[in-house]
């Protein structure tokens, strides 16, 4: 497995270490070259690993703006970022435990040709482990260091 320096080219099956949230956002921006839609991406890692921070960068990389200001329920499980070419949906399943709860999110409607789905805590449901195209596993190496392991599932 190749080590990719921050700021360098990101290839599939690579490992990158970032040293700040800003570097993680930047990594997310650069990842869009690997995420031509349609894609389902599992973001894996403990609480506070940096999944949402990375998702923010990916949405930015697609020049996609958040619609959250328009619809802002107390607990947002699906964030929608609409871009000129690609729509990014960022789903957080931390509080979703049953198939029934999952069904109410209507995720099936989000599988479209110009969509990229970023799913946090998707590994709770075997279906997403099976169907995802890319897995990004994030590990905390200390207060500000995070290791990102990117693998294409297929
Ligand atoms: N290199 C880094 N990359 C990303 N976040 C970092 C880094 N260093 C420190 N942090 C901090 O770690 C936290 C990451 O939070 P974030 O919401 O992205 O995590 P998460 O994996 O989505 O957690 P959760 O499972 O709770 O949703 C933030 O407080 C951020 O400031
Ligand atoms: Mg999160």
Q: Are strands 78-82 and 87-92 parallel, antiparallel or unpaired?
A: antiparallel
Q: Which two tokens stand for residue 140?
A: 């905390």
Distance in Å, CA 72 to ligand 2 centroid? 16
Joined together, the tokens standing for residue 74 give 């107390």
Per CATH, the number for 19-152 is 3.40.50.300
Q: What is the largest CA-CA distance in the chain?
A: 42
Q: How confident is the model at residue 43 (pLDDT cuts 50, 70, 90)?
A: very high
**What's the distance, Cα to Cα, between the start and end of the chain in Å?**
16
Instruction: Tell whether the torsion through CA atoms of 86, 131, 121 and 48 is positive or negative.
Output: negative
Tokens of 53: 């921070």
How remote is the CA of residue 120 from the centroid of ligand 2, in Å? Answer: 7
Which residues, in sequence order, are CB contacts of 126 under 8 Å at separation 6+?
Answer: none
Ligand 2 mean position, distance from CA 116 (Å): 17
Give the SS3 label for residue 26: helix
> Which of 68-72, 115-119, 133-137 has the lowest average pLDDT?
68-72
Q: What is the dihedral of CA 136, 144, 58, 132, to 10 degrees?
A: 10
* Ligand 1 pocket check for 49: Cβ under 6 Å: yes
List pLDDT tens digits, range 87-114.
999 999 999 999 999 999 999 999 999 9
Closest ligand (CA of 90): 2
Whether 21 is in the pocket of ligand 1, judged by its Cβ within 6 Å, is: yes
């Amino acid at each position: 497995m190749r080590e990719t320096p921050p700021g360098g080219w990101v290839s599939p099956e690579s490992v990158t270490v970032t040293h700040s949230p800003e570097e993680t956002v930047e990594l997310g921006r650069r990842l869009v070259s690997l995420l031509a839609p349609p894609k389902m991406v599992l973001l894996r890692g403990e609480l506070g690993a940096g999944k949402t921070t990375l998702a923010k960068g990916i949405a930015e990389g697609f020049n996609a703006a958040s619609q959250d200001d328009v619809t802002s329920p107390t607990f947002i499980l699906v964030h929608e970022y609409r871009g000129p070419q690609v729509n990014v949906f960022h789903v957080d399943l931390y509080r979703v435990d049953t198939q029934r709860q999952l069904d109410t999110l209507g995720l099936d409607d989000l599988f479209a040709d110009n969509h990229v789905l970023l799913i946090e805590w998707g590994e709770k449901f075997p279906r997403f482990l099976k169907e995802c195209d890319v897995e990004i596993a994030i590990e905390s190496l200390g207060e500000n260091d995070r290791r990102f392991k990117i693998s294409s599932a297929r």
